Every structure is written in structure tokens, then in C-alpha cells.
């Protein structure tokens, strides 16, 4: 099994069967995490890129079974930030030395591409990179948002198992999800995708297919999130012990896509003590601190007890593991 880790480390290629073998054997975990950490250091270095996350709306037209913000969850107090509120938060983040602003929200069509475009143009005046995470829109809407200055887009495929995708996403189409990702790539966005790990009915085979899909898309960023059950969703009874499996999916992703940006996700820190630090030592090179004000942060509950961290806390943690915060915008340097 150690040979497989070595092969992935040297050649950055594995078959689906080989990925499944790695995922099912926990005796290799330490060598897998160490290899991913070495590949991360060789290809993207020791700098950590910080992305300031602004959760600008918790209103969503979708009903993803796992998400606390799903439209059918009537217990959520819904909000939309105004343009001025978003710009104030962005300005504060820029003052705190963040080089990327991420605008994330539910699929809320109140924010038309034109209106979002105006907000993006104002944020671009702060000389930072802009990432969007707003779900599925048409090719023309993505095009307009790109023309207004957005450089990156995060849209997880969530799972490449078509049947599971349909079960998890009522009234959504797997084909459209994929098409959106290819549209984003074609438009020249740095394209981020990723998957949830631990969904009910998900197999190791489908996780292997997820990783191979990231490679096929030539994704620029990959976010791997352990699924955390939310008590007001149909998946409230599910298990939430998915930390180590999601760490393994992340580490294998680093071996196969050595030069991309990979966040240590908030869900990892939420599920496991020091999960963020462990992820940064197993292949991750990005952190996305939430800079939304505390009132709205509480209302953006995709899962309970979301971990949070600020710039100076992170600086201390990173120093303790021999890493430092990048002063650059942190685009992918393709190698
Ligand atoms: N609405 C946009 C979308 O779905 O792409 C962006 C916001 S959505 C809250 C961002 C991500 O949250 C999703 O891609 C999903 O993987 C993740 N998420 C939602 N519910 C979750 C849960 N219960 N556990 C872990 N991650 C979750
Ligand atoms: Fe809406 Fe995104 Fe949550 Fe799905 S994951 S319900 S699209 S906010």
C-alpha cells in the first residue's frame, strides 16, 4: 500500500481502484498525510492564503437535504445584507490585510447578476481578488459577473454519484451542476469545486470518482467538507464522524492535483479539535475565516456550532507550525 502512496506522490496519477484501496486502509494514514504535506510544500510552498468569507444572504431557493439553510427549513430567521453592509465588512477585511473577499450565500435571486456586479466592482476598487460562491446561474450571468471583476468561483459538485446527487438535491440536475462548472472554466474563472464526505449511502467508490472528477475538470481549488448533520434537516439522524475520511480524501486530492489551492475547511475544525491545523499539515494551504458580523454569522447556520477564527489567532497557530500568511492574492500557479 505504501507503494501506492509513493506512486501518487511521484506521478500524481491513481486509478479509481487504487484510490479505493487507499481510502479503505487506515494503516497507511500517516504516510498518506506526510506525502500530501511534502507535495504541498514542494508545489505551493509554506505560505497560507487567507480568504475572507462574507455570508451576504441566508435566503435560498434550494432544498439540499443536508443544509440548514434549505428553503423548507422554516425555523431560520432569514436575512440579506445591503450593498453598504457588504462593502463595510469587505473594507474591514481589507484593513485587516485580507487579499481575497469571498461572497457566499444561498441561491437568492434577489441578488441579480447586475446588482451583484455593482457590489463586485466596488470591492475590486480595494485591490483584492473576488471569489463568488452563490450556486447555479446561467452562462450569461456568470459571464457578466466575470466582466464585473470576479476572478474565482466555488461550486462544489457535492457528489459525483448521480443517484445520490438526485436524492440529496430535490429538483436539481446533476447534469446542470456539471455544466455550470464547465461554463465557469470556459469563462476563465479560477474554478473551485469539492465534495461532502459522509453523506448517507455514499461509497468509497463514489469518493474515488469525485477525486477523479476534480482531475478531469482540472479544478483550481478543491474544498472537501465532512458532512455535519443539522437538527432541522431530514438528515438530522445521520452520523457525523467523518473527519478522518474527509482528511484522506483531501490528502489524495493534493497528491493528484499537486499545484492547486486546498482549504482546511471550517467543517473539519468544527468536527475535530485542531482539525484545521491537522488539515494544514496534510495537504491544505488555504484558510477561509468568516468575517461576517456576529449577528448574521449566527443566522447562517448550514450546520451547528460552526468553528470560527480571526486573523491574529491564525497568525499564532500558523507560526507554531512553521507557516506564515501570504501577502499575495494567492492565485493558482500552474505547474
Ligand atoms: N449556496 C451555495 C452552494 O450551495 O454552492 C453556496 C453556499 S453553501 C452553504 C456552501 C457549501 O456548504 C455547500 O457546497 C455544501 O457542501 C456545504 N454544506 C451545506 N450543508 C452542510 C452540512 N450540513 N455539512 C457540511 N457542509 C455543508
Ligand atoms: Fe442552498 Fe447552498 Fe444550502 Fe443547498 S447548500 S440549501 S444551495 S445554501
Q: Any idea which ligand is nearest the CA of 134?
A: 1
Structural domains of the chain in order of their starting residue, each with its CATH number = 15-323 (3.20.20.70)
Residue identifier of the C-alpha nearest atom 8 of ligand 2: 106
* DSSP β-bridge partners for residue 193: 222
Give distance in angstroms: CA of 301 to centre of ligand 1: 10
On the 0-12 / 13-18 / 19+ scale of CB atoms within 10 A, 327 is exposed
Give distance in angstroms: CA of 65 to centre of ligand 2: 9
With cut-offs at 50, 70 and 90, classify the pLDDT of residue 58. very high
Which among 67, 106, 246 is the best mutation to test ligand 1's pocket, defined by most ligand atoms within 8 Å of the CB?
67
Give distance in angstroms: CA of 63 to centre of ligand 2: 7
Is 90 exceeded by the pLDDT of residue 33?
yes
Is 90 exceeded by the pLDDT of residue 1?
no
Is 80 exceeded by the pLDDT of residue 2?
no
Q: Any idea which ligand is nearest the CA of 104?
A: 1
Q: Any idea which ligand is nearest the CA of 59?
A: 2
pLDDT at 197: 98
Task: Sheet with 221-226: list strands edge to edge.
Answer: 52-57, 100-105, 129-133, 152-154, 190-197, 221-226
Mean pLDDT over the full length of the chain:
97
Ligand 2 pocket member 70 (CB < 6 A): yes
Q: Do residues 272 and 303 lie in contact, with contact meaning Cβ atoms separated by under 8 Å?
A: no
Is 80 exceeded by the pLDDT of residue 59?
yes
| Of 286, 213, 287, residue with least CA distance to 252 | 213
pLDDT at 335: 87
Q: Across residues 80-86, what is the average pLDDT?
A: 98
Q: Across residues 21-33, what is the average pLDDT?
A: 97
Is 80 exceeded by the pLDDT of residue 79?
yes
| Of 147, 160, 222, residue with least CA distance to 191 | 222
**Residue 227: all three cell numbers together:** 458532512
Q: Which residues of 27-58 are buried (b: 16+ CB within 10 A; e: fewer)?
A: ebeeebbebbbebbeebbeebbbbbbbbbbbb
What is the per-residue pLDDT across 105-161, written as a single tens digit (0 to 9) for each?
Answer: 999 999 999 999 999 999 999 999 999 999 999 999 999 999 999 999 999 999 999
Is 90 exceeded by the pLDDT of residue 291?
yes
Residues framing ligand 1 (Cβ under 6 A):
66-67, 69, 104, 106-107, 133, 135, 155-156, 158, 196, 225, 227-228, 230, 267, 302-303
Q: Across residues 45-64, what is the average pLDDT?
A: 98
Ligand 2 pocket member 107 (CB < 6 A): yes
Is 80 exceeded by the pLDDT of residue 70?
yes
What are the C-alpha distances in Å from 123 to residues 49, 102, 149? 18, 10, 9
Amino acid at each position: 500500500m505504501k507503494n501506492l502512496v509513493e506512486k501518487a506522490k511521484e506521478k500524481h496519477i491513481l486509478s479509481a481502484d487504487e484510490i479505493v484501496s487507499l481510502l479503505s486502509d487506515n494503516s497507511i494514514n500517516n504516510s498518506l498525510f506526510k506525502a500530501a504535506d511534502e507535495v504541498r510544500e514542494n508545489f505551493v510552498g509554506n505560505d497560507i492564503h487567507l480568504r475572507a468569507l462574507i455570508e451576504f444572504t441566508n435566503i435560498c431557493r434550494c432544498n439540499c437535504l443536508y443544509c440548514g439553510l434549505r428553503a423548507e427549513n422554516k425555523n431560520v430567521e432569514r436575512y440579506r445584507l445591503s450593498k453598504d453592509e457588504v462593502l463595510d465588512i469587505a473594507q474591514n477585511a481589507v484593513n485587516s490585510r485580507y487579499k481575497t473577499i469571498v461572497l457566499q450565500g444561498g441561491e437568492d435571486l434577489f441578488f441579480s447578476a447586475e446588482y451583484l456586479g455593482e457590489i463586485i466592482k466596488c470591492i475590486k476598487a480595494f485591490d483584492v481578488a473576488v471569489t463568488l460562491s452563490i450556486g447555479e446561474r446561467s452562462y450569461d450571468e456568470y459571464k457578466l459577473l466575470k466582466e464585473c471583476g470576479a476572478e474565482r468561483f466555488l461550486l462544489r459538485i457535492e457528489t459525483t454519484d448521480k443517484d445520490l446527487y438526485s436524492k440529496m438535491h430535490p429538483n436539481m440536475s446533476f447534469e446542470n451542476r456539471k455544466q455550470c462548472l464547465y461554463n465557469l472554466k470556459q469563462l476563465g474563472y479560477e474554478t473551485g469545486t469539492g465534495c461532502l464526505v459522509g453523506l448517507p449511502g455514499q461509497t468509497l467508490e463514489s469518493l474515488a470518482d469525485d477525486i477523479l472528477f476534480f482531475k478531469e475538470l482540472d479544478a483550481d481549488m478543491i474544498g472537501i467538507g465532512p458532512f455535519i448533520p443539522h437538527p432541522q434537516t431530514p438528515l438530522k439522524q445521520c452520523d457525523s464522524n467523518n473527519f478522518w475520511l474527509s482528511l484522506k480524501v483531501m490528502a489524495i486530492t493534493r497528491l493528484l492535483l499537486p499545484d492547486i489551492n486546498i482549504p482546511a475547511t471550517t467543517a473539519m475544525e468544527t468536527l475535530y479539535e485542531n482539525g484545521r491545523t491537522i488539515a494544514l499539515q496534510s495537504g491544505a494551504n488555504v484558510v477561509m475565516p468568516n468575517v461576517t458580523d456576529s449577528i448574521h454569522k449566527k443566522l447562517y447556520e448550514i450546520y451547528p456550532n460552526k468553528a470560527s477564527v480571526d486573523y491574529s489567532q491564525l497568525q499564532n497557530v500558523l507560526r507554531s507550525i512553521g507557516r506564515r500568511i501570504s501577502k499575495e492574492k494567492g492565485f493558482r500557479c500552474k505547474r
